[in-house]
Structure formats: structure tokens, C-alpha cells
């Protein structure tokens, strides 16, 4: 292979660097503490001196925000798309760092908890359908499942906004689990307390009010809109309704499940019932979370 084949033309190199700069995104690449120890996203450090390294479009200022607030001076992004910052003596507790640049771009969140590492903590939280809920996330579910760690063969206590919920046994593999029901809407800060009597970092979750589970309108195969209690000669009827985003369940006719439903990310579902007998049908939506819609009655008559 010749040297000409090995190395691209300088003009090609310049073009490649320009392309890299154009596609670079605004992001935090690493955070280390004053001991030089890297802190993973969602990690814990007992040293409050933090150093940031990140990247963004070059030749502009980047502002590092903590929970959406800029508490330190902006830093300059150099010609190589890099920036760095040093925040000494950050406050103890949970931090959610993002970077926002002058061109309007914003990075993903990098979460850091500053404080003493505890013997017990929460590893993850799922809703009743098994969907994970991140720290600072939200749910419309009022039932949550927790899994955490602690010292083997001891007990931990689970709290919500400082209020005691349960005492949980830690198994031989240093794991514990909990099921919490009847959560009210609003912010919840879940913590656990182990034998060291030090509260874990909070796992904050917002419980939002559920969207109505309802049949909104009905249309038969003749493209006729059917009001509640109206009749039709069609044997196929389609239902459109609302639910929580991604909520699942069934369309039922009295006590019989006719078809499954799965709301989209906007909380809208469509479901069709086929081969309906000539009689009165009372339809409801039953969600997997135990919710039940108001009935919608359709009378199927002979043509």
C-alpha cells in the first residue's frame, strides 16, 4: 500500500473534522470528585469537589445547570468541541446536572448524590405493570414495587416523605423488596434506613393524576356514529377511548372479555368488536390496573 493510499488528502481531513464538529452533541461526558474518582450517572460521592468534562458545538458558552438552575459561571467550548468546569464544595444531597449551550441545545441529566455511602439503598422502582421509574420520574400508577440492598440478614425501614411505611427483611443476598399501595398524587421522596441509622438518598417520584378511562365515541362498520344506547344493524363496532399512556386492558361485554386494548403514548386506544349477536350489548373498558370505565350500550338489531 502506498503512502497516498494510507493517508487521506489534507482537504479530506479538514472536511472530516468539520463534519465531526457539526454532528457533536451537547453532553456531559464525565464527572470526577476531588479524589480523582469517576462518578457514574446516578452515583454517590462523599467528596463534594466536582470536575466536569463535556462536549458541545465549538466557540460558544455552555451553562451547567443543577436542577434547572445555573449556580456557576458559564464555561467556554473550545475549537475542539470540549469544555470543562470545576465546582468546589457542592451542597450535600441530590443533584441533577445538565448543560445548556447558547445555540439552545441541552444535554441529558447526569445525577449525582453527595453524601455518605449508606448500608441500605433503593436499587430500582417499578410500577404495577413492571415499567421502571427513574429517580425524578413520574407515574400515574398508585402501586409501586421497590427493590434495594442492605446488610444481609438485617432489617431496613422504608419511608415516604419522612413518614414510616414498612420494615423489610434483607435476605442472604443483601436484597430486600417492598410493595407500596394507595399513593396519593404529588411528589414522593422514598428513602430507606439501615442498621447504620443513615438515611439513603431520596428516590423522588411524582404521582400524577390518572387520565379518565372512558369510551369516547363508537362507530359501526356502516361508518355511523353510535351514541350510548343507540341501535345498529351492523355486526362490527369500533370503540375509541382514552386511558393513561400505554395502559393495557380489555373491552368487555357484560362479564366477557371481547378484545384487548393498549393505549398509545398519548393515552388513546382503538378496539373493534366483531360478529355481534342481535341483542343488547353493554360494553366497558377494564384496565390491568383494576380501573373500570362507564358502560356504553349498543343495541344490535336485524337489518
**Could you tell me how many residues make up the chain?**
303
- CA 72 from centroid of its chain's CA atoms: 28
Within this chain, do residues 292 and 235 fall inside the same structural domain, yes or no? yes
Residues near 225 by Cβ (< 8 Å), separated by ≥ 6?
A: 217, 218, 219
State residue 15's pLDDT score.
44
Domain that holds residue 284: 214-300
Within this chain, do residues 247 and 270 fall inside the same structural domain, yes or no? yes
Is residue 91 assigned to a domain? yes
Nearest-angstrom CA–CA distance, 233 and 278: 8
Within this chain, do residues 23 and 108 fall inside the same structural domain, yes or no? yes
Nearest-angstrom CA–CA distance, 72 and 63: 8
Q: Average pLDDT across each block of 10 residues of the chain; the chain has 303 residues. List them in order.
A: 42 41 74 95 91 96 94 93 95 91 94 84 92 91 94 95 96 94 95 92 92 95 96 97 92 93 94 96 92 96 92
Total count of domains within the chain: 3
Beta bridge partners of 52: 31, 85
Within this chain, do residues 96 and 72 fall inside the same structural domain, yes or no? yes
Amino acid at each position: 500500500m502506498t503512502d497516498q493510499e494510507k493517508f487521506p488528502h489534507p482537504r479530506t481531513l479538514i472536511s472530516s473534522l468539520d463534519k465531526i464538529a457539526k454532528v457533536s452533541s451537547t453532553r456531559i461526558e464525565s464527572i470526577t470528585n476531588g479524589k480523582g474518582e469517576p462518578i457514574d450517572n446516578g452515583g454517590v460521592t462523599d467528596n463534594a469537589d466536582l470536575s466536569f468534562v463535556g462536549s458541545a458545538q465549538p466557540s460558544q458558552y455552555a451553562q451547567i445547570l443543577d436542577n434547572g438552575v445555573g449556580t456557576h459561571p458559564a464555561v467556554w467550548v473550545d475549537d475542539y468541541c470540549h469544555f470543562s468546569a470545576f465546582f468546589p464544595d457542592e451542597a450535600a444531597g441530590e443533584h441533577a446536572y445538565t448543560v445548556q449551550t447558547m445555540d439552545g441545545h441541552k444535554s441529558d441529566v447526569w445525577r449525582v448524590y453527595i453524601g455518605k455511602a449508606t448500608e441500605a439503598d433503593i436499587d430500582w422502582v417499578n410500577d404495577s405493570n413492571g415499567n421502571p421509574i427513574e429517580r425524578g420520574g413520574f407515574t400515574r400508577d398508585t402501586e409501586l414495587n421497590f427493590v434495594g440492598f442492605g446488610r444481609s440478614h438485617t432489617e431496613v425501614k422504608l419511608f415516604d416523605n419522612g413518614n414510616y411505611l414498612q420494615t423489610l427483611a434483607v435476605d442472604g443476598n443483601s436484597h430486600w423488596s417492598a410493595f407500596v399501595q394507595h399513593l396519593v398524587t404529588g411528589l414522593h421522596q422514598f428513602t430507606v434506613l439501615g442498621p447504620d441509622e443513615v438515611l439513603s438518598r431520596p428516590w423522588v417520584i411524582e404521582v400524577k393524576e390518572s387520565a379518565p378511562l372512558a369510551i369516547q365515541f363508537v362507530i359501526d362498520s356502516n361508518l355511523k356514529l353510535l351514541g350510548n344506547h343507540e341501535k345498529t344493524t351492523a355486526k362490527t363496532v369500533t370503540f375509541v377511548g382514552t386511558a393513561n399512556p400505554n395502559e393495557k386492558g380489555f373491552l368487555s361485554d357484560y362479564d366477557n372479555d371481547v378484545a384487548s386494548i393498549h393505549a398509545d403514548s398519548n393515552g388513546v386506544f382503538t378496539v373493534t368488536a366483531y360478529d355481534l349477536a342481535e341483542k343488547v350489548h353493554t360494553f366497558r373498558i377494564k384496565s390491568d390496573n383494576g380501573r373500570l370505565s362507564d358502560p356504553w350500550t349498543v343495541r344490535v338489531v336485524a337489518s
